[in-house]
Amino acid sequence: MGHLNPQFGTNSFNGERKESPAKPSRGALACIINSEIGAVLAVMRRNVRWGVRYVADDDNLEHPLIHSLKELRKQIFSWQHLWNNIDPFLYLQPFLDVIRSDETGAPITGVALSSVYKILSLEILGLDTVNVGEAMHLIVDAVTSCRFEVTDPASEEVVLMKILQVLLACMKSTASVWLSNQHVCNIINTCFRVVHQASSKGELLQRIARHTMHELVRCIFSHLPDIEKTEHALANGSRSCVHEEVGSPGKGHTSESEQLENGNGGIEYGGQSTAYASTAPMSTSASGMSDGGTNENITECSNRMEPTKNDEKHMMDPFGIPCMLEIFHFLCSLLNVIEHIEFGPKSNPIAYDEDVPLFALGLINSAIELGGPYISKHPQLLAVVQDELFHNLMQFGLSRSPLILSTVCSIVLNLYHHLRTELKVQLEAFLSCVLLRLAQSKHGSSYQQQEVAMEALVDLCRQQTFMAEMYANFDCDITCSNVFEDLANLLSKSAFPVNGPLSAMHILALDGLICMVHGMAERLGNEPPSLKASFDDEGYEAFWTMTCENYSDPNFWVPYVRKLKYLKRNLMVGADYFNRDPKKGLEFLQGMHLLPDKLDPKSVACFLRYTTGLDKNVVGDFLGNHDEFCVQVLQEFAWTFDFQDMNLDTALRLFLGTFRLPGESQKIQRVLEAFAERYYEQSPHILINKDAALVLSYSLIMLNTDQHNAQVKKKMTEEDFIRNNRRINGGKDLPREFLSELYHSISENEIQMIPDQSAGFPVMASSCWINVMHKSKKTSPFIVCDSREPLTYDMFAILSGPTIAAMSVIFDQVEREDVLQTCIDGFLSVAKIAACYHLDDVLDDLVVSLCKFTTLLTPLSIEEAIVSFGDNSKARMATTAVFTIANRYGDYIHSGWKNILDCVLSLYNLGLLPANLASDAEYETDAPSDPDRAKPATTLSASHMPSLAPSRKSSGLMGRFSQLLSFDMEEPRSQPTEEQLAAQQHTRETIQKCHIDSIFTESKFLQAESLLQLVKALILAAGRLRKVTGSIEDEDTAVFSLELLITITLNNRDRIMLIWQGVYEHISDIVQSTILPCTLVEKAVFGLLKICQRLLPYKENLTDELLRSLQLVLKLDARVADAYCEHITQEVLRLVKSNATHIRSHLGWRTIISLLSITARHPEASEVGFEALAFIMSDGAHLLPSNYALCVDAARQFAESRVGEIDRSVSALDLMAGSVVCLVTWSSESKNSVDEEASMKVNQDIGEMWLRLVQGLRKVCLDQREEVRNHAILMLQRSLTGVDGIHLPNTLWLQCFDLVIFVLLDDLLEIVLGQSPKDYRNMEGTLGLAVKLMSKVFLHLLLDLWRLPSFCKLWLGVLNRMEKYMNMKLRGRRSEKIHELIPELLKNTLLVMKTTGLLTPSDAIGGDSFWQLTWLHVKNISPSLQLEVFPAHELEQLQTKQVKAAGIPAPDGTVLVQSSETTA
């Protein structure tokens, strides 16, 4: 048997010894003992009895007690330096004789006890002292056998207190390790008897006695960690002197002890005669207290525990496990008394409950507190805790005394902390049968009981791993009740105040819920959360055979318990089906692969045996059915029980506890036959055959009904029972003792024939405890959870809904700030867990609940709302919580964004948000310094309040409060009160804590789905505001919503397409539905431009999409567009300058150029628009084939515009003409292209662009302004003659003459003839320039075009225009300049044609007609030109040569066309 090692004992109480005085020197010890001798002698001399001389024979002799003291005095001074070698017996014996003597009075005994106490407290006895063990034994024997005469009650109490003092000093002494188990038991027993005696004495003695008892237990069990566990264990524990003293089984239960006799008092070690015991022992009586007799029916083991020789041997060993085991048994025996006390209707059970049991429970708690973790190392101690102690805790857990219940709960909490791995089933039983039932106020429990039980549950919830362990060990165990789920439901329901005010119970339940949530939140680590696994489509597996490979490794047990929970849920559903229709229930279980496709009796039997939630009546009927399959199931069902070495009544209780015995006799017969067969196979004992077991079982059922049915008036006696069971054991009688034991067992403890239908344990009775202990031997190991979170997801799925609802109700009804803060902490923990496991619905529900408490959505006036918000701590706390959740866990908020945005907009309406909340810092820093140029729209804080009132948001954070602090010159306002100022301060602090701006500026970190929901909610809110009354307030809020939307868009450029469609549609709706200028449309337009500016550099693949959106600007109502045209153009200019290189497509440029073109005729915007166009076209910097035609058209519009100065139109023309360089460049690049087809396509496009250019210039040539049209003609000429690097086909040139040059001349002529001279001044010069242009271009292209069949037509067109101009009259008279210019130009043309050989007297171009037609027209223009060009002699020579020639030589020497004669 394990005992205390003296080496450990030396240091085990260093803490205790610190309070002791310093150890005296060896020389001083003699003086100390001498003084104690003198003190005892002095008190003895004061007594008359001791003051006289005793005469015997002839000598005068002193009394032996006085003589021994004096003899000691003679010797002590000779031991100066040898005290360690002196046997303590020599200097202790005289004092101990005085203590044991029944002749001494209380004062003398008291002084002797004080002397012994001083010797112990000064550590005169040390571990190195000779025979220190014997000395300690002598002291204990003497003190526990103390005898003295009682002279007065006061002196008696003093002696009793000193006895306690000495015994406690013995246990605290370093030499206590030498005490034997027997002596420690004697000490405990003596102290307990003093406790009994103290109940009839003074209050001080009572308190000291009880305190000493606690200290002794603490001293003893604090040694448990130092006790060495030896291989030889004491079989079945031991029962020794404690029980002999308190009462033996033969004595039964004593309710009172012997009374005081003859006025003498004393302490004895009851019934155990020692060398120092008095022949007249005496006991004191404790009023209302029992001597603590044992209960024969605690357990079967206790009945067998009687001292043996082996036990006695262990009891004399140095104290250790045997004495601790005895103390546990003794304390439990004090609790057993309660079982046989019946309370009447008028009795006060608390008066009894709070005496002995409470004292015993306190001692047990002290023992477990100090020795708890080491009890499991000693099987004997652990067995007592598992069975006897816990059974008593179950009984006292239902005590009506709150004190007892509180102490029991403290013990259970300690047991859970230290021994939960060994107490799985016991903990389940206590939680289900005691705490959960009491906390639910079931079975008539009082409010005090309910509150204590709730406190105990909350304390358990505060243990870091309690909830996880409850879930893993019970909720995920098929054979156990759902403790976690039941507890969660209990706490959530208890937190709801139903039809009454909020009470402490509601707050307590709330604490429990929040503790559970906090525990889960704290376990969430950095590891990826382990989500619930899926077990669908798995095949059949016998669930009752499933085991885990390693219950200590989460990698093994987590999947295991999850699968068990999955199976358990399906089994519960199957049980529900079975309860309604067994056949359908079994079919369902087969479909869920919980039973095999082909049913077999064993699987069904195991389902009935191990599944919780089954209706016990239905199970009983099913098992008793005569159907062959049901009979086979019954056999297998009975075989699932283990009746090994079990009494018949115990086995029968266990068997009938799993179902209700059917009422029909045949069914009962079948059920009991199966039971009897199984019982006889495993525990035959004295039964000869199974028939004997069957008959006796039937007899026990009948006896149970007889004894416990109220309708049976005449009860069966023991003799009747024995007589009824004669000759049933194979024709022989069973032993009378055997039958008597069965009779008493059934009579005292009813077999529960109607089992409790709840999933947990029934209300615990002695008979039910047998089932608990049986289950504890078969249950799976207790799973210990660490601080990780493998099951948090599973638990939170059960807990979240009720917890949020309960916290919301409490938060709504309570006003105490500490409770409110507790709720807020709980909300944040729920949010943390929900976010960790991506439980969007939970987070949304939480946000919705919290937003209701912000009061921000309550319609109040602005001033009232601000003051109310500042004064309402609940609203401020809820607001802070809402935005804390939004900032921390926004990734997983979906529908909740709507409520959050409602709060944001309400704060904005109250003027409580920072003025720059929706601003974009990066954009603001990029804005130009020019204030006029930099103001794209009204600012966020723009006020719609009357001008004399403070700006609505100009004061930033507390704009609304500025109204309270300012004065109107005409109507002075009152100063704000202290309450208003305090509310202002509270509100400011709250808004600062919320960090609302982070929601939008940090939206780039949101998950895609959350971001999309945020944008949708913002659009919805803004749309809702636009559809309401249309007040200034609503418009302002709609503007703010739009700015937030733009801020989000700009901060999410990397995933713009995710939200772009919604943003675009919202802006489009605003733009197209607005017909008058307003802030909202202004924000929409410039927000759109800002988005394009910021995103184009980063999203080249979205360039077209972004620029297409700018077409919305083109759809603006004319009034709106006019109002914002300048600012729009400024933004477009900024966009072009920063992003021109990123715009490549025709579509994109078309939008940009269209925006610029609009500004050409706008007084304010044209300058900026032209600047943007010039930026694109100057030097061809950003001209592209995709934007060339667009830019040319836009430049033409600026050239034609009369809004700006003429110089701008001239510059526009320069831009147009200068763009030819780009065409030349592109043409040159195309020549290097390998792909000929592509090159041809490019050249064709270039030709079209050039034609577009010259057509545009032609239009400007008709401008009313002289400088513009003249410059346009020059630029046109430049564009027509400066394209040598471009390969333009001849057909294109012919087109150019027809569509550009000829049309230009015709239009100018028409203008001259039809318009007022005031509209077109100095047209003469313009006409001259036009004719020159035609002449120069014709000559420039002459060699290229004369080959064309239509050259003659072209030439005649030229001549025709010259002829018209010659005949034209300006203001009624001919123009001299034109008349001089045209002949000169024509002459020059003819000379060139003559020189090149294109004009000869006889040519092949049209036969003779070309020559003739030429001169025909020339004569109409200037008749003398033919002779000037072709003098007469020269003409004759040419004609002669022409006749002789065979063909017409070309200028390059080749024959171009044969003469008409030859070809004929």
List beta partners, residue 610.
none
**Please, which residues have CB within 8 angstroms of residue 92's CB and are 6 or more apart in sequence?**
116, 119, 135, 138, 139
CA pseudo-torsion sign 373, 379, 385, 391: positive
The residue written with tokens 């063909």 in the block is 1447
Neighbours of 1356 (CB within 10 A): 17
CA dist., res. 910 & res. 1142, Å (int): 43
Residue 457's Cβ-count burial label (10 Å; 0-12, 13-18, 19+) is: buried
CA dist., res. 162 & res. 108, Å (int): 12
Which amino acid, residue 181? N
Residue 75 tokens, joined: 């010797």
In 3-state terms, what secondary structure has residue 358? helix
> DSSP code of 175?
G
3-state secondary structure 796-831: HHHHHHHHHHHHHHHHHHCCCHHHHHHHHHHHHHHH
CA pseudo-torsion sign 459, 463, 468, 473: negative
In 3-state terms, what secondary structure has residue 1306? helix
Could you tell me if 1085 and 1113 are in contact, meaning their C-beta atoms sit under 8 angstroms apart? yes
Beta strands in 1045-1110 (DSSP E): none
Q: Of 225, 228, 291, 231, give the one whose Cα is nearest residue 258.
A: 291
DSSP 651-682: HHHHHHTTSPPPSSHHHHHHHHHHHHHHHHHH
**Please, which residues have CB within 8 angstroms of residue 1029's CB and are 6 or more apart in sequence?**
none
* Alpha carbon of residue 1135 to chain centroid: 45
CA dist., res. 135 & res. 118, Å (int): 15
* Alpha carbon of residue 653 to chain centroid: 47
**Please, which residues have CB within 8 angstroms of residue 708's CB and are 6 or more apart in sequence?**
750
Residue 697's Cβ-count burial label (10 Å; 0-12, 13-18, 19+) is: buried
* Alpha carbon of residue 732 to chain centroid: 72
Residue 1236 tokens, joined: 């000929």
Residue 1027 tokens, joined: 């559809």
> DSSP code of 1315?
S
In 3-state terms, what secondary structure has residue 1326? helix
For residue 697, give the H/E element and its range.
Answer: helix 690-708
Q: Of 217, 176, 428, 415, give the one whose Cα is nearest residue 318.
A: 176
Could you tell me if 833 and 792 are in contact, meaning their C-beta atoms sit under 8 angstroms apart? yes
Backbone angles phi, psi at 1458, to 5 degrees: -70, 155
In 3-state terms, what secondary structure has residue 895? coil
CA dist., res. 1117 & res. 1072, Å (int): 8
Could you tell me if 642 and 778 are in contact, meaning their C-beta atoms sit under 8 angstroms apart? yes
CA dist., res. 541 & res. 563, Å (int): 11
Residues belonging to the active site: 664
Could you tell me if 1153 and 1188 are in contact, meaning their C-beta atoms sit under 8 angstroms apart? no
CA dist., res. 482 & res. 795, Å (int): 11
